[in-house]
């Protein structure tokens, strides 16, 4: 039977890891997959994580299953991190946390929940969005549509977005990026979030907010503005959060599905369904990443260290954004790429075309997604002059 199986190209983002490894150019630069890199181009384990792991190794007494919702001690720290300390949503007991294998796992749980419990509801995602969104929701059987997000001049198209949201059929699901929009780096202002809230209310839409980069934009609380605004002003919403980037525990697959319901009673009903979805997908989530996060957040000292390290990463990325634009000045390209300094998070939609991206890869060993998305954390003081020269050459 397998003779009928067709070979398909590999994932466009993950494929870059392999292609970069194989490249023998000594000046090669990896601006591909979204992992943080330090000034040396490494993705080190955070100190708070190392210390938490040492404690876990010493104190862990069992490797037994942790249940379909995961470790309650993990949920206990993720809910206030995402929804805010003292959030009225938490006080009312209307939010539920389910530990998931990464943010991707949380997205698939959400997709399966919508497909099975809210039949007939379609999902709307920004154009562009993280390419895996385009796979996950249809894989669960949902019909996916797009709303505009970026205009032809590579600027946030908020008017286009808002008028499209106003046309979405009542009750459909709208996926929003909480912060550090992937792939563009264009985030909504607080005033724009308020407008989105009004439309979501008016149309009775169900927001699904993907929150994979908390702490990488402006700060842990600042980045949660939209999530908290919606949660506090709507009866129902879904949040998929990730600890991959902000704790740097990518391979530990540590995420969380947060379901917000009208009241505690309805939340428990929804929660019971999520347990089934998790059970049918993978039964129990992996424990280690959640234990790290919970160990850190339950210790005032480790939590302070973690916040400090996260601030360092965020400041470094935002500094590199400004330096990138500076580096392009001698080539007269600083205006053209000024958006890079304004965008937030790990990614920038540079405006480079797929052909330019191909030339950067083939002629200079510079790797990024063909959409023109660059991982800004891959910039460094050493490689910026080289990058600027290469970009000037393909312009
Ligand atoms: C990315 O967009 O590069 C990251 O979210 C990693 C991934 O899984 O694609």
Per-residue model confidence as pLDDT tens digits over 31-73 = 999 999 999 999 999 999 999 999 999 999 999 999 999 999 9
Decide: helix, strand or coil at residue 150: strand
The whole-number pLDDT of residue 305 equals 98
Query: What would the DSSP string read from start to end of 64-123?
Result: ----TT--HHHHHHHHHHHH-TT-HHHHTT-EEEEEESHHHHHHHHHHHHHHHHSTT--E
Question: Could you tell me what percent of the chain has a pLDDT over 90?
Answer: 99
Which CATH number fits the domain that encloses residue 334?
3.90.1150.10
User: Do 244 and 352 lie in a common domain?
Assistant: no
Domain membership flag for residue 52: no
Q: Which two tokens stand for residue 238?
A: 């879904």
Closest atom of ligand 1 to CA, residue 104: 8
Whichever domain contains 88, its CATH number is 3.40.640.10
Q: What is the pLDDT of residues 156-201, one digit of tens each?
A: 999 999 999 999 999 999 999 999 999 999 999 999 999 999 999 9
Which has more confidence, 9 or 99?
99
Q: Are residues 250 and 373 in the same domain?
A: no
Length of the chain: 395
Is residue 171 situated within a structural domain? yes
Residue 351 belongs to domain spanning: 11-44+315-394
Asked if residue 10 has pLDDT above 90, the reply is no
Q: Cα 313 to the chain's mean position, in Å?
A: 16
Q: Which of 15, 49, 97 is nearest to 261 (CA)?
A: 97
CA distances from 166 to 27, 255, 363 (A): 48, 31, 45
pLDDT number for residue 31: 97
How many of the other CB atoms lie within 10 Å of CB of 186?
24
Q: How many A from CA of 359 to the centre of ligand 1?
A: 23
pLDDT average, residue stretch 215-240 = 98
The domain boundary, picked from 234, 265, 298, lies at: 298
Domain final position from 269, 298, 327: 298
Q: Is 130 a catalytic residue?
A: yes
Interatomic CA distance for residues 116 and 278, integer angstroms? 13
Confidence at residue 142, expressed as pLDDT on a 0 to 100 scale: 98
The residue to mutate among 128, 129, 130, 183, having the most atoms of ligand 1 within 8 angstroms of its beta carbon, is: 130
**What is the Cα–Cα distance from 343 to 351, expressed in whole angstroms?**
12
Per annotation, catalytic residue among 130, 157, 223, 306:
130
Within a domain: 333: yes
Q: Judge whether 40 lies within some domain.
A: yes
Query: pLDDT value at position 175?
Result: 98
Judge if 370 and 265 occupy the same domain: no
* Catalytic residue (choose from 30, 157, 172, 210): 210
Rounded to whole angstroms, the Cα distance separating 384 from 379 reads: 6
**Ligand 1 centre from 245 Cα, in Å?**
10
Mutate which of 15, 16, 32, 33 to test ligand 1's pocket (most atoms within 8 Å of Cβ)?
A: 33
- % of the chain exceeding 70 in pLDDT: 100
Place 110 in a pLDDT band, splitting at 50, 70 and 90: very high
How high is the pLDDT of residue 97? 98
Say whether both 248 and 375 belong to one domain: no
* H helix or E strand, kind and range, residue 29: strand 29-30
120 located within any domain: yes
CA separation for the pair 390, 324 (Å, rounded): 12
Q: What does residue 362 show for φ and ψ, rounded to 5 degrees?
A: -70, -40
Q: Do residue 199 and residue 287 come from a single domain?
A: yes
Please indicate, yes or no, if residue 99 is contained in any of the structural domains.
yes
pLDDT given for residue 96 in this prediction: 98
Closest residue by Cα to atom 5, ligand 1, is: 34
Verify whether residue 193 is a known catalytic residue.
no
| Annotated catalytic residue 306 | no
**Can you give the pLDDT at residue 262?**
98
Domain check: are 290 and 224 in the same one?
yes
144 forms beta bridges with: 123
Q: Which of 270, 298, 326 is the last residue of a domain?
A: 298
Compute, in angstroms, the gap from residue 14 CA to the centroid of ligand 1.
8
3-state class (DSSP) for residue 45? coil
Both 26 and 107 in one domain: the answer is no
Which residues contact ligand 1 via a Cβ below 6 A?
13, 33-34, 130, 132, 182
Write the residue with the smallest CA distance to atom 4 of ligand 1: 34
Q: Are residues 262 and 320 in the same domain?
A: no
Q: How far is CA 14 from the centre of its chain?
A: 15
Count structural domains, the chain. 2
pLDDT tens across 267-308, in order?
999 999 999 999 999 999 999 999 999 999 999 999 999 999
* Residue 310 placed within a domain: no
Could you tell me if 232 and 378 lie in one domain? Answer: no
Q: Which ipTM score applies to this complex?
A: 0.94
- Tens-digit pLDDT profile for residues 307-318: 999 999 999 999
């Amino acid at each position: 039977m397998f003779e009928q199986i067709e070979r398909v190209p590999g994932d466009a983002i993950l494929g870059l890891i392999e292609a970069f490894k194989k490249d023998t150019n000594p000046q090669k630069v990896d601006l591909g997959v979204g992992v943080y890199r330090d000034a040396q181009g490494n993705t080190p384990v955070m100190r708070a994580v190392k210390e938490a792991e040492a404690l876990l190794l010493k104190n862990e007494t069992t490797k037994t299953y942790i249940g379909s919702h995961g470790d309650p001690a993990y949920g206990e720290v993720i809910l206030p991190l995402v929804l805010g300390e003292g959030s009225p949503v938490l006080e009312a007991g209307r939010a539920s946390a389910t530990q998931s294998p990464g943010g991707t796992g949380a997205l698939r749980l959400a997709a399966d929940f919508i497909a099975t419990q809210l039949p007939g509801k379609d999902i709307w995602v920004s154009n562009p969005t993280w390419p895996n969104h385009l796979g996950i929701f249809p894989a669960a059987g949902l019909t996916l549509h797009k709303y505009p997000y970026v205009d032809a001049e590579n600027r946030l198209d908020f008017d286009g977005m808002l008028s499209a949201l106003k046309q979405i059929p009542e009750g459909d699901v709208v996926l929003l990026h909480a912060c550090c929009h992937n792939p563009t780096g264009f985030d909504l202002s607080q005033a724009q979030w308020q407008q989105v809230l009004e439309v979501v209310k008016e149309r009775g839409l169900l927001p699904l907010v993907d929150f994979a980069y908390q702490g990488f934009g402006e700060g842990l609380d600042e980045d949660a503005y939209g999530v908290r605004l919606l949660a506090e002003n709507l009866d129902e919403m879904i949040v998929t959060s990730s600890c991959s980037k902000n704790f740097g525990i990518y391979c530990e697959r540590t995420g969380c599905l947060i379901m917000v319901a009208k009241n505690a009673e309805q939340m428990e009903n929804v929660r019971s369904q999520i347990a089934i979805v998790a059970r049918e997908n993978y039964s129990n989530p992996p424990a280690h990443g959640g234990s790290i996060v919970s160990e850190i957040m339950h210790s005032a000292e480790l939590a302070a260290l973690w916040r400090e390290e996260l601030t360092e990463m965020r400041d470094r990325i935002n500094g590199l954004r400004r330096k990138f634009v500076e580096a392009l000045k001698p080539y007269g390209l600083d205006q053209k790429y000024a958006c890079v300094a304004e965008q937030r998070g790990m990614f920038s939609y540079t405006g480079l075309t797929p052909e330019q991206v191909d030339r950067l890869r083939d002629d200079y060993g510079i790797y990024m997604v063909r959409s023109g998305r660059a991982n800004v954390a891959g910039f460094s003081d050493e490689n910026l002059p080289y990058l600027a020269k290469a970009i000037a050459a393909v312009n």
